[in-house]
Amino acid sequence: MKRNLLRFFLSLIVVSVVLIWLWFESLQIEYAKLFKAPAQFAFRHLGIPKSGLMLVLEHFTNLVPYIALCLSLPTAPWKKRFARLGLGLAILIVVHYIMLVAVSGIYSTYSLSPTAYKFLFPILTINDALPLALWFLFFSEEIIGLFRKRK
């Protein structure tokens, strides 16, 4: 138990540092570019005049902890780990698009008024908590296994 838990935490620190550096060095901008065409299409069809991309850009960073948590779990088989990682990333990306459209709609309607923040806060909070929830959902057995005593 202690050995796997220690491996997990050490791996989580190393993987997180590397991913954070990569994210802020170049991946964040490249990831945001993926949103341009589909978001503009959605905005045009929904009648949203302003993009709230700058309001949500920092919240796309939730990909980093999800990837780090999935890759650092020492008790998960690699095949399952990558399948669950891919599914979780797909969910996060869809949520990012939904969040961008929702936040842009709120921003274009209320600008940055106190009313806007009443709507923005729960959306952004759910998005930020989602990686941990997905990790628990997809890896609950492995997480519990980290804390079980071996016989």
12-38 residue pLDDT tens: 999 999 999 999 999 998 998 887 778
CB 103 within 8 A of CB 58: no
Domain range annotation of the chain: 2-147
57 or 135, which is more confident? 135
For residue 40, pLDDT over 70 is answered with yes
Quick one: pLDDT at residue 11?
A: 95
Own/partner pairs for 16-20, CB < 8 Å, 24+ apart? Answer: 16/64, 16/65, 16/68, 19/64, 19/67, 19/68, 20/64
